[in-house]
């Protein structure tokens, strides 16, 4: 094998590791879904607090992604990538061994912090490997992009298998050998990236994470306390004040966590909004679809996870095979707009699910339509967000787009939980009321996706959104 061939082979092996990293950090958001009932029983979570097993991870993940991206630029992406795996390993060990609610949530938050280091550094490494090769970049982004939604839906399946045949702690312990393997092979596969001078802006990281956590908590609290209650209004106000403080800090600091001028980069802000609304529509769908499969249709943990495999297959095939070719022919904007519109249609179709329905009629066709929409929109919006930034801010742009998707996921899930609670979602043992609540969440998520399609149509510049 020639030197050129060996270098090319190594580059694609490196992409495999980066895609696996993206698969793992997204899988960790969903793998706990099927295990939640048993985890609730063993650790004593209340029904209202159970969503924090998801939110603790996503808020730490989303809130610290900007810091992770900044550290990738300052310290070198490979070093931050390895550190992230070690932090994820530690959080997984704590979450798996937890005997109380608070230890479990702490472990999940540490997992999220590790993911916040892995995700932006992985995207930065991808751009280092493929950014100078336009012919390969589209394919690389497609493989990497397919790993995210595939990880989300595959996590439900794996969670079902593990919960059914082992026990819930193993949904966390699964990360440990994978993290060890990633740490060992990274030096051989990943290029070194030079460090830069600058500060890390820990104050900015604390304020943005606390602000996002306060907003999500307010939305989770609202169905029980009331939207006009002092508690809800207080947490909403605290979140807005903290986020306002974050923006003020960024405007005044010489080396901010996020240069505000970055948001004025053509298409970068629009692509991030598309990613935010994509996450806000997609994540509630799989969360409540899993609830419908188990608590209304009566599927077990394994069967519920297996029911989502067709979506995963469609997403991976379309993202890897079709999306890069379509983006090269039509540009990113038509795919983002069409994808969000198709996702909205699939979610609206799912809202017609019946209490006495079946998987083949009420779930499969609509879920495949939704998966098609996700596959069309995800990679073009991701690629546009990253490629719009300056090369020296690649880590920050990676952190920003990941932040948009994860925070959209957390806020979307919290908001749709509130919508579902107002429509009967809490009525355990009553299929009609549960179905009504789940249908309301699907319809709400459809509205989010439809709004995303309209916003993308109005804000993305077609002449500057060709990806691949």
Task: Check whether residue 217 and residue 332 sit in a common domain.
Answer: no
pLDDT of residue 426: 63
Task: Check whether residue 247 and residue 388 sit in a common domain.
Answer: no
Which contacts (CB < 8 Å, 24+ apart) does range 244-247 have? 245/207, 245/211, 246/204, 246/207, 246/208, 246/211
Task: Check whether residue 186 and residue 139 sit in a common domain.
Answer: yes
Q: What is the DSSP code string of 105-166?
A: HHHHHHHHHHHHHHHHHHHHHHHHHHTT-HHHHHHHHHHHHHHHHHHHHHHHHHHHHHHHHS
pLDDT of residue 98: 87
Task: Check whether residue 194 and residue 213 sit in a common domain.
Answer: no
Q: How far is Cα 350 from Cα 179, in angstroms, rounded to an integer?
A: 36
Task: Check whether residue 376 and residue 239 sit in a common domain.
Answer: no
CATH of the domain at 397: 1.20.1250.20
Residue at a domain's end among 187, 221, 256: 256
Task: Check whether residue 248 and residue 318 sit in a common domain.
Answer: no
- Residue 243: domain span: 201-256
Task: Check whether residue 279 and residue 212 sit in a common domain.
Answer: no
pTM reported for the whole predicted model: 0.77
Task: Check whether residue 212 and residue 358 sit in a common domain.
Answer: no
Task: Check whether residue 366 and residue 297 sit in a common domain.
Answer: yes
Task: Check whether residue 352 and residue 236 sit in a common domain.
Answer: no
pLDDT by residue (tens digit) across 66-104? 778 778 878 888 999 999 999 999 999 999 998 888 899
Task: Check whether residue 295 and residue 155 sit in a common domain.
Answer: yes
- The number of domains in the chain is 2
Place of tokens 């901010």: 256
pLDDT of residue 448: 96
Task: Check whether residue 335 and residue 354 sit in a common domain.
Answer: yes
The tens-digit pLDDT sequence of the chain (468 residues) is 445 455 677 888 899 999 999 888 888 877 887 777 778 778 877 666 677 787 788 778 877 777 787 788 788 889 999 999 999 999 999 999 988 888 999 999 999 999 989 988 888 888 888 866 766 777 787 788 778 767 776 777 787 778 777 888 898 999 999 999 999 999 988 887 665 655 667 787 788 878 877 877 787 677 667 778 888 899 999 989 998 998 888 888 777 777 777 667 777 788 888 999 998 998 888 878 878 888 888 887 677 777 878 888 888 788 878 777 787 788 888 999 999 999 999 999 999 999 888 889 999 999 999 999 988 988 888 878 777 666 666 666 777 777 788 778 778 887 888 788 777 766 666 788 888 888 999 999 999 999 999 999 998 876 555 555
- Residues 393, 407, 78, 379: is their CA dihedral positive or negative? negative
Task: Find, among 54, 118, 112, 111, the residue nearest to 410 by Cα.
Answer: 54
**Contact in structure between 453 and 319 (CB atoms under 8 Å):** no
Instruction: Indicate the angle between helix axes 332-350 and 431-459, nearest 10 degrees.
Output: 160
């Amino acid at each position: 094998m020639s030197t050129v061939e060996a270098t090319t082979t190594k580059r694609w092996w490196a992409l495999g590791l980066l895609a696996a990293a993206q698969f793992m950090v997204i899988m960790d958001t969903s793998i706990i879904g099927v295990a939640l009932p048993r985890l609730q029983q063993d650790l004593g979570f209340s029904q209202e607090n159970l969503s924090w097993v998801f939110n603790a991870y996503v808020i730490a993940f989303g809130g610290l992604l900007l810091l992770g991206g900044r550290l990738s630029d300052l310290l070198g992406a490979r070093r931050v990538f390895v550190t992230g795996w070690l932090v994820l390993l530690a959080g997984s060990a704590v979450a798996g061994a937890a005997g109380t609610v608070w230890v479990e949530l702490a472990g999940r938050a540490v997992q999220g912090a590790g993911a916040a280091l892995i995700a932006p550094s992985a995207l930065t490494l991808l751009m280092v490997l493929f950014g100078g090769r336009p012919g390969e970049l589209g394919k690389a982004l497609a493989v990497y992009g397919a790993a995210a939604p595939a990880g989300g839906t595959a996590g439900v399946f794996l969670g079902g298998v593990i919960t059914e045949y082992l026990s819930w702690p193993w949904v966390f312990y699964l990360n440990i050998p994978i993290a060890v393997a990633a740490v060992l092979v990274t030096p051989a596969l990943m290029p070194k990236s030079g460090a830069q001078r600058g500060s890390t802006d820990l104050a900015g990281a604390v304020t943005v994470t606390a602000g996002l956590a306060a907003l999500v908590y307010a939305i989770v609290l609202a169905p029980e306390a009331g939207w006009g209650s002092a508690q809800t209004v207080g947490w909403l106000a605290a979140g807005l004040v903290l986020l306002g403080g974050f923006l003020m800090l960024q405007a005044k600091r010489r080396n901010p966590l996020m240069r505000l001028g970055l948001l004025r980069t053509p298409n970068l802000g629009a692509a991030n909004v598309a990613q935010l609304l994509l996450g806000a529509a997609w994540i509630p769908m799989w969360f409540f679809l899993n609830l419908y499969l188990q608590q209304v249709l009566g599927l077990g943990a394994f069967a519920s996870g297996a029911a989502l495999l067709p979506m995963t297959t469609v997403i991976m095939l379309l993202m890897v095979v079709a999306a890069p070719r379509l983006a090269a022919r039509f540009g990113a904007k038509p795919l983002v707009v069409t994808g969000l519109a198709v996702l909205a249609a699939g979610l609206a179709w799912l809202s017609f699910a019946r209490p006495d329905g079946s998987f083949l009629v009420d779930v499969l066709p609509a879920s495949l339509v939704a998966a098609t929409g996700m596959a069309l929109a995800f990679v073009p919006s991701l690629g546009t967000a990253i490629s719009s930034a300056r090369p020296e801010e690649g880590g920050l742009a990676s952190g920003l787009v990941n932040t948009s998707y994860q925070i959209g996921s957390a806020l979307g899930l919290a908001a749709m939980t509130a919508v579902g609670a107002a429509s009967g979602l809490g009525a355990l043992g009553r299929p009609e009321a549960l179905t009504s609540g789940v249908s309301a969440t699907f319809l709400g998520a459809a509205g989010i996706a439809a709004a995303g399609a309209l916003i993308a149509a109005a804000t993305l510049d077609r002449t500057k959104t060709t990806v691949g």
